[in-house]
């Protein structure tokens, strides 16, 4: 029976350790067995899920991976759900994807039942799935849809980015070639698994290579430092906010411990930063502490990774390098005409790793491409043969702590607050987060609102990284047509020093 390449490669490494989580190690043959049981549970009397969408709400760890692989092996489309997200966002994801099943860890049983009821779908607890007797599994062609990851755009609610098994393979093999992954690598995963950074760059690259992935339940600076100093790792990948927290933990460590922490980092062959702009100060401070010049790369949910600083050679702070293997990149002006080096232009990407479609949004999908090139919306400059990211086209996309957030989505939620008449959400430059979410609001007559009160209320409706960190009650500036002038709002908020919690 023909198998997906990821599954076939796992058989080659059957006896090797693939995952360490919660103090337990698991071999590739255990993952193959567990994912086969999950696939059989999902199939039931069917021979093939035939691209039915399956949501799964499972914490990071072995079971999460077994469920994801099980969905793929049954012929389904995996829809990862974030345990940290409120039920409102999870319901939107399930309904938008048209998911017919939600696989739920017992720790999230209440949320899972709400999702299954709201999406008119089947609830499958992970213990039941993992206890199912394995049966015959379908052949799954690489051209089939494999995954829908939800990401914020300029239209409000998050939209589903669809990748096929072939495009995932292209994304993974490009990084494996560029960063020279081998079966002897050991990587620590401290990133969310509903985000392309954790799913592709860390987890799937490791498992494709026959390497070992150590999975943390959530990010903790001290735990990460303990794992680094154990000498067990060869790779580490994170967002700038995490590197800032690791620097703070190093600064707080005793002078006896600091040399050992620094020496342990030098034992790693590669350390990568991405998902948000890396401040030069963080790049240089990390290099001072560890000797590592962090490798910066550029990517997004729709393309995987597109650009990367070199594995071997000079890494320039603020540069995201050159196109990865199999990727083409160019800069164009507003008319789609290529710009000359040194001039800013929109980054467009082409290659086999580019996504298939926005789920259920054919017009948005068509509008995202220009003559076969994906329009990223990011503005870059080609400087001495290397790309630098200088901004985004839309003021309604905020990159905070490595997550792209839609200002329009947050505004729609804030307008539900009984004290808010109108609002405008903006991203304000922040040395830690890249941008922090700030809200300027017009209050209803007779109402008052504090930032603390707003944040407590918003936690019921928004993921934590989408909740405003600053609030400014004001009269919103408008133009002659009554449109809110967002570019006049950012100056209302000064420089920030928030420590920027990392969502996990």
In tens, the pLDDT along 219-235 reads 999 999 999 999 999 99
The reply to whether 328 falls in a domain is: no
- pLDDT band (50, 70, 90) for residue 501: very low
State the average pLDDT over residues 393-409: 80
Distance in angstroms (rounded) separating the CA atoms of residues 345 and 286: 30
With residue 452 as reference, give the H or E element that holds it: helix 451-458
Residue 303 lies in a domain: no
CB 221 within 8 A of CB 194: no
Where is the domain boundary, 107, 140, 173?
A: 140
**Greatest mean pLDDT among 107-121, 312-326, 395-409:** 312-326
Alpha-carbon gap, residue 150 to 194, rounded angstroms: 8
Residue 151 predicted with pLDDT over 60: yes
Take residue 108 and report the two structure tokens written for it.
């999230």
More confident residue, 392 or 168: 168
CATH number of the domain at 480, please: 3.30.300.30
CA 216 and chain centroid, separation = 16
344 pLDDT exceeds 80?
yes
* pLDDT value of residue 474: 92
pLDDT > 90: percent of the chain: 72
- pLDDT at residue 64 greater than cutoff 60: yes
pLDDT of residue 70: 98
**pLDDT recorded at residue 499:** 39
The answer as to whether 333 is a domain residue is no
Residue span of the structural domain in which 415 resides: 397-492
154 pLDDT band (50/70/90 cuts)?
low
Residue 125 has pLDDT above 60, yes or no: yes
pLDDT at position 366: 96
Q: Judge whether 171 lies within some domain.
A: no
CATH number reported for the structural domain that contains residue 115 in this entry:
3.40.50.980
pLDDT, position 502: 36
Confidence of residue 389 (pLDDT cuts 50, 70, 90): confident
Phi/psi at 450 (5° precision): -105, 160
Ordered DSSP codes for 116-166: HHHTT-EEEEHHHHHTSPP-------TTSEEEEEEE--TTSS-EEEEEEHH
Give domain status of residue 438, yes or no: yes
Which pLDDT value is given to residue 402? 80
Q: Does residue 226 belong to any structural domain of this protein?
A: no
Q: Is the Cβ–Cβ distance between 65 and 103 less than 8 Å? A: no
Residue 500's pLDDT band, with cuts at 50, 70 and 90, is: very low
The pLDDT tens digits of the residues spanning 290-332 come to: 999 999 999 999 999 999 999 999 999 989 999 999 999 999 9
What is the arithmetic mean of pLDDT over 374-397? 85
The count of domains in the chain is 2
Domain boundary among 140, 166, 182: 140
Domain boundary among 110, 140, 170: 140
> Mean pLDDT lowest for which of 122-136, 252-266, 387-401?
387-401
pLDDT at 504 (0 to 100): 30
Tokens describing residue 381: 């400059």
Whether residue 54 is predicted with pLDDT greater than 60 in this model: the reply is yes
- Look at residue 484 in the predicted model and tell me its pLDDT: 79
351: alpha, beta or left? (left if phi > 0; alpha if psi -120 to 50) = left
Q: Hey, what are 212's tokens?
A: 């070992």
Task: With cut-offs at 50, 70 and 90, classify the pLDDT of residue 289.
Answer: very high
Residue 278 has pLDDT above 60, yes or no: yes
Contact yes or no for 471/458 (Cβ under 8 A)? no
pTM comes to: 0.84
Say yes or no to pLDDT of 67 above 90.
Answer: yes
- In the chain, what is the straight-line distance between the N-terminal and C-terminal CA atoms, in Å? 38
**Beta strands, E only, 239-337:** 270-273, 295-300, 304-308, 322-323, 328-332
21 burial level (CB within 10 Å; 0-12, 13-18, 19+): buried
| CA–CA dist 118, 89 (Å, integer) | 12
Tell me what the mean pLDDT of segment 244-257 comes to.
Answer: 95
236 is a domain residue: no
Examine the pLDDT at 13 and tell me if it is beyond 50: yes
Res. 497 pLDDT band, cuts 50 70 90: very low
Inside any domain, residue 47 = yes
Per-chain mean pLDDT for the chain: 91
Range 262-284 average pLDDT: 91
Report the pLDDT value the prediction gives residue 399, as an integer from 0 to 100.
84
């Amino acid at each position: 029976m023909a198998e997906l390449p990821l599954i076939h490669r796992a058989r080659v490494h059957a006896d090797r350790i693939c995952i360490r989580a919660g103090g337990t190690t698991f071999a590739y043959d255990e993952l193959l067995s567990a994912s086969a049981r999950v696939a059989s549970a999902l199939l039931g009397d069917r021979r093939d899920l035939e691209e039915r969408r399956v949501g799964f709400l499972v914490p990071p760890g072995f079971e999460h991976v077994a469920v994801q692989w099980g969905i793929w092996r049954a012929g389904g489309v995996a829809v990862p759900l974030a345990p940290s997200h409120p039920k409102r966002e999870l319901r939107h994801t399930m309904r938008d994807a048209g998911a017919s099943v939600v696989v739920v860890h017992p720790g999230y049983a209440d949320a899972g039942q709400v999702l299954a009821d709201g999406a008119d779908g089947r609830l499958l607890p992970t213990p039941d799935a993992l206890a199912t007797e394995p049966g015959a599994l379908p052949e799954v062609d690489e051209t089939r849809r494999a995954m829908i990851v939800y990401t914020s755009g300029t239209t409000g609610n998050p939209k589903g980015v669809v990748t096929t098994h072939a495009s995932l393979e292209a994304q993974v093999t490009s990084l494996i070639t560029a960063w020279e992954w081998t079966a002897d690598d050991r990587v620590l995963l401290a990133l969310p698994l509903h985000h392309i950074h954790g799913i592709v760059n860390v987890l799937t690259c490791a498992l494709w290579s026959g390497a070992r992935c150590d999975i943390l339940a959530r990010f903790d600076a001290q735990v990460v430092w303990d794992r680094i100093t154990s000498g067990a790792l060869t790779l580490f990948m994170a967002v700038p906010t995490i590197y800032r927290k690791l620097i703070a933990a190093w600064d707080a460590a005793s002078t006896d411990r600091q040399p050992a922490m620094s020496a342990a980092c030098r034992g790693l062959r590669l350390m990568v930063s991405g998902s948000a702009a890396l401040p030069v100060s963080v790049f240089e401070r990390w290099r001072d502490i560890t000797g590592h010049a962090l490798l910066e790369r550029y990517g997004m949910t729709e393309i995987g990774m597109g650009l990367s600083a070199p594995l071997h050679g000079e890494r320039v702070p603020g540069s995201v390098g050159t196109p990865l293997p199999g990727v083409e990149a160019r800069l164009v002006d507003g008319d789609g005409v290529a710009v000359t080096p040194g001039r800013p232009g929109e980054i467009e990407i082409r290659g086999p790793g580019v996504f298939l479609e926005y789920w259920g949004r054919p017009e948005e999908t068509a509008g995202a491409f220009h003559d076969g090139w994906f329009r990223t919306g990011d503005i870059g400059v080609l400087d001495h043969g290397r790309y630098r990211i200088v901004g985004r086209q839309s003021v309604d996309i905020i990159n905070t702590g490595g997550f792209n957030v839609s200002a329009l989505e947050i505004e729609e939620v804030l307008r539900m607050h009984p004290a808010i008449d109108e609002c405008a959400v903006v991203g304000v430059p922040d040395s830690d987060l890249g941008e922090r979410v700030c809200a300027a609001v017009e209050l209803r007559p007779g109402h008052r609102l504090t930032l603390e009160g707003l944040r407590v209320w918003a936690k019921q409706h928004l993921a934590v990284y989408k909740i405003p960190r600053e609030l400014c009650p004001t009269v919103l500036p408008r133009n002659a047509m009554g449109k809110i002038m967002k570019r006049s709002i950012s100056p209302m908020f000064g420089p920030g020093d928030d420590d920027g919690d990392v969502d996990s």
